[in-house]
Structure 1
């Protein structure tokens, strides 16, 4: 028997992968995008503010390999999504860092969220977006952290509402909350 490629799997227009820090959500999301067999676009939202973050970003790039086209979009996710070709599959990693960047820029989060949701709906390629679940942690001790937690919860709800597939990842184990895994 000759080695034939694995069958490609189709993704819905929007999938949301949510979990805590180091839960395995990015690994699952990368696997979903890779399984499509399409050219892969990675939209990165992290900003390297220090050496430790630069090392994390470099490690992520090495782990993904050279098969991914990377678009850096720490502020303008809608603009990055507009650049995606129809035949690709997209991974946005992650909504939490994007929201952090927009909050620190004192942006209009309602307008930014609306623009992001519209760009996701208009994107010609399937998109998997990674986000953090923050609602299970303790109540933050300061007002900025509480505003962030609340904003992240609202963003996650809006993304989950629009997504056809929502998967929570806990300790590396996926739990489908909405839709069906391809």
Structure 2
């Protein structure tokens, strides 16, 4: 798995698309874009439209805003090949929204861990886009803090499992991990489950 992580509008999706297309071309298999966004308001509707316009025609498209691990399990890998999941943070955000007041860090974390297990089973490379949400101010609302904390833990576990991790900042890609090896400037701290 290749994890592409960064802040909002950092270039994550464009970078991940290039990685997925190049990987599929090298392996001579199809490439599938798994969109997790759902238009809950006009801003998200516009964002989805921009992504659709920019997306390369080579991508097959699956829209899985919910039940992502179950939908991945049902995919025919020969038909779908390399997967690009855009994005983990949106998927967990939708789950948090759907759960409402019953949402908990444990529920969101478990959903992330179920997804990791399904990605491990998938026979072709998977590129996962996610957002780093823990570097800003502490969110005002408890639900946002629960989401931030769960996503931070899930992102750490995805990074630990990934063979490649790329950080995108202001359109610049920084390789944190390649072929399972950390960049000389990086060190992994064990994350509690």
TM-score tier by shorter-chain length is 0.7 to 0.9
Which stretch shifts more, 119-128 or 106-115? 106-115
Query: 1:42 aligned to 2:62?
Result: no
Matched residue, 1:96: 89
Matched residue, 1:7: none
- Pick from 21, 24, 31 the counterpart of residue 11 of structure 2: 24
- Pick from 70, 73, 93 the counterpart of residue 79 of structure 1: 70
TM-score scaled by length of structure 1: 0.86
Q: Which segments of 5 or more consecutive residues in structure 1 lack a partner in the other structure?
A: 1-13
Q: 3-state DSSP class of the match of 2:18?
A: helix
- Pick from 43, 55, 65 the counterpart of residue 64 of structure 1: 55
Q: Cα distance, 1:88 vs. partner?
A: 1.3
TM-score scaled by length of structure 2: 0.81
Structure that is richer in helix per residue: 2
Q: Cα distance, 1:109 vs. partner?
A: 2.2
Q: Which segments of 5 or more consecutive residues in structure 2 lack a partner in the other structure?
A: 181-193
Matched residue, 2:45: 54
Moved over 3 A (4+): none
Q: 3-state DSSP class of the match of 2:60?
A: strand
| Total equivalences in the alignment | 168
Matched residue, 1:149: 148
Q: Any conservation in 2 of the 1:84–1:123 contact (CA below 8 Å)?
A: no
Q: Cα distance, 1:180 vs. partner?
A: 4.7
